[in-house]
């Protein structure tokens, strides 16, 4: 497949753009592969890419029940960051950040990664103390962080209400300058194209209906397009993890599925050139290249597989946004959507071998799935290829919940007491 370049753009412009090759093939499934990856989202596609690119394993099938990009990879708010507190989290997401910084070049596909920064607002002195602690932890683990005063926040985001009479007065903030946003569907297409170029079969419209076994060992999958066998079978299906794993006889996992809503407003003139998060609630907002304000907040709080939410969260998110930016009160909402979050009990992911022989599991991403896409695939590919975790995902085991070794990253778990 030809490389994308300025010359190819010019050549196709003169031919009416009729000669572009498909970004990936549409193969029929083969009877057997070395590795099957169930789930054609960002994590499944990046895993396939890194299996081929880093480990030379290209006899791989990515099986997707619908079309690429229909799941969470196309239903998020595009934020990329590594501003975590705990060492296990910072190291993992900072590795992801470094992969993001070279991703467009590596894939020869523009994922539109924009390092516009992520700013967490602080509304009390104690919150500033907490941000200072987190910023120091980030720096100790190789990430970048800057503590900003109220005046510095006001200069960086002129539309914010920083007055003393604000409902939630702003006293400062924590900025990660290297963080930012990326184009979610471009990430899926870039990894799909990169994996396909290395020989990976991407099989769309192929739903897994069961697993093949030899005793306890998983030896492949049953699908709507026939049986497919493999030495290794990996599952990376985000919010559908509980449903898919039940097909393998695993009905107890430390995760729950919830809907997380996202929103975009009508297009505006340039208003905010960074990602801003509300410090007294759960709201994150940025502005897209098309001018729409992209934002989201809390999960709806009940178990569901629906890709739509309900009005209480809409009202909660809008009220928080108007508290920060009173000037947006009359801006119209253009559309909303939902993604199915696989919320782990400690708010941290699971990238591991098992729970059955021949099976590998990637799940529990809570709010962190999109930003983790490169590192998740990189670490999962390493785990599959070598049957052991890399150092950056060694703590993300499934048995940590049984052993009590939780990675409670600021309590972002799926139960009310941890939220």
Task: Tell me the domain boundaries of the chain.
Answer: 25-78+184-253+346-418, 114-179+256-343
Q: Is the alpha carbon torsion for 219, 222, 227, 228 positive or negative?
A: negative
pLDDT, position 9: 87
Report the distance separating Cα 343 and Cα 259, nearest Å: 10
C-alpha to C-alpha distances, 305 to 75, 257, 302, 354, 399, nearest whole angstrom: 14, 7, 10, 24, 25
Residues of the chain with pLDDT under 70: 1-2, 410-419
Report the distance separating Cα 259 and Cα 263, nearest Å: 13
Calculate the CA dihedral of residues 40, 51, 203, 187 and round it to 10 degrees. 40
Are 239 and 257 in contact, with CB atoms under 8 Å apart? yes
pLDDT, position 265: 97
pLDDT, position 411: 46
Are 333 and 261 in contact, with CB atoms under 8 Å apart? no
Q: Are strands 333-344 and 350-353 parallel, antiparallel or unpaired?
A: unpaired
pTM of the entire predicted model:
0.95
Q: Domain 114-179+256-343 belongs to what topology?
A: D-Amino Acid Oxidase; Chain A, domain 2 (3.30.9)
Residue 413 CB coordination number (10 Å):
23
pLDDT, position 2: 60
Report the distance separating Cα 62 and Cα 37, nearest Å: 5
Report the distance separating Cα 416 and Cα 150, nearest Å: 32
pLDDT, position 96: 98
Residue 319 CB coordination number (10 Å):
13
pLDDT, position 418: 46
Report the distance separating Cα 309 and Cα 156, nearest Å: 33
Report the distance separating Cα 144 and Cα 97, nearest Å: 11
The domain 25-78+184-253+346-418 having CATH identifier 3.40.50.1820: the answer here is: no
Report residue 156 as tokens: 């960086």
Report the distance separating Cα 3 and Cα 325, nearest Å: 44
Query: How long, in residues, is the chain?
Result: 419
Name the nearest CA neighbour of 365 among 66, 96, 16: 96
pLDDT, position 20: 86
Report the distance separating Cα 191 and Cα 51, nearest Å: 12
pLDDT, position 419: 36
SS3 sequence of the chain = CCCCCHHHHHHHHHCCCCCCCCCCCCCCCCCEEEEEEECCCHHHHHHHHHHHHHHCCCCEEEECCCCCCCCHHHCCCCEECCCCCCHHHHHHHHHHHHHHHCHHHHHCCCCCCECCCEEEEECCHHHHHHHHHHHHHHHHCCCCCEEEEHHHHHHHCCCCCCCCCCCCCCCEEEEECCCEECCHHHHHHHHHHHHHHCCCEEECCCCEEEEEEECCEEEEEEECCEEEEEEEEEECCHHHHHHHHHCCCCCCCCEEEEEEEEEEEEECCCCCCCEEECCCCCCEEEECCCCEEEEEEEEEEEECCCCCCCHHHHHHHHHHHHHHCHHHCCCCEEEEEEEEEEEECCCCCEEEECCCCCEEEEECCCCCCCCCHHHHHHHHHHHHHHCCCCHHHCCCCCCHHHHCCCCCCCCCCCCHHHC
Report the distance separating Cα 98 and Cα 43, nearest Å: 17
Report the distance separating Cα 262 and Cα 282, nearest Å: 12
pLDDT, position 1: 52
Q: Is the alpha carbon torsion for 394, 398, 342, 70 positive or negative?
A: positive
CB neighbour list of residue 202: distance below 8 Å, 6 or more residues apart:
24, 25, 27, 40, 45, 48, 61, 62, 64, 68, 192, 195, 196
């Amino acid at each position: 497949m030809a490389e994308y370049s300025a010359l190819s753009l010019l050549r196709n412009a003169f031919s009416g753009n009729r000669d572009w090759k498909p970004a990936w093939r549409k193969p029929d499934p083969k009877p057997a592969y070395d590795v099957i990856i169930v789930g054609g989202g960002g994590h499944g596609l990046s895993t396939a890419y890194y299996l081929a690119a880093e480990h030379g394993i290209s006899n791989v099938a990515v099986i997707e029940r619908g079309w690429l990009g229909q799941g969470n990879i196309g239903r998020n708010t595009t934020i990329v960051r590594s501003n975590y507190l705990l060492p296990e989290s910072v190291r993992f997401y900072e590795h992801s950040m470094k992969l993001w910084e070279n991703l467009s070049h590596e894939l020869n596909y523009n994922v539109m990664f924009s390092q516009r920064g992520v700013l967490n607002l602080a509304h009390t002195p104690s919150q500033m103390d907490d941000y200072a602690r987190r910023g120091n932890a980030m720096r100790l683990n190789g990430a970048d962080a800057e503590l900003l005063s109220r005046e510095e926040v006001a200069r960086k985001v002129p539309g914010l209400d920083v007055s003393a009479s604000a409902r939630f007065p702003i006293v400062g903030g924590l900025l990660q300058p290297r963080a930012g946003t990326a184009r979610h569907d471009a990430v899926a297409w870039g990894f799909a194209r990169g994996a396909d170029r290395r020989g990976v079969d991407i099989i769309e419209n192929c739903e897994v209906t069961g697993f093949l076994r030899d005793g306890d060992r998983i030896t492949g999958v049953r699908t709507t397009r026939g049986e497919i066998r493999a030495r290794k079978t990996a599952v990376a299906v985000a919010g559908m993890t509980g449903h898919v794993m039940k097909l393998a006889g695993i009905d107890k996992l430390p995760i729950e599925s919830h809907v997380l809503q996202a929103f975009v407003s009508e297009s505006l003139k340039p208003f905010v050139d960074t990602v801003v998060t509300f410090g007294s609630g759960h709201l994150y907002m940025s502005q897209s290249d098309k001018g729409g304000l992209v934002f989201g907040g809390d999960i709806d709080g009940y178990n569901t597989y629906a890709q739509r939410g309900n009005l209480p969260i809409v009202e909660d998110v809008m009220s928080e946004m108007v508290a920060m930016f009173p000037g947006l009160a009359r801006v119209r909402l253009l559309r909303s959507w939902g993604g199915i979050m696989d919320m782990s009990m400690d708010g941290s992911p699971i990238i591991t071998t098992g729970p059955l022989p021949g099976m590998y599991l990637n799940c529990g991403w809570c709010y962190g799935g999109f930003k983790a896409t490169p590192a998740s695939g990189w670490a999962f590919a390493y785990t599959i290829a070598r049957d052991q975790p890399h150092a950056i995902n060694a703590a993300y085991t499934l048995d940590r919940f049984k052993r009590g070794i939780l990675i409670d990253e600021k309590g972002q778990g799926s139960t009310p007491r941890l939220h």
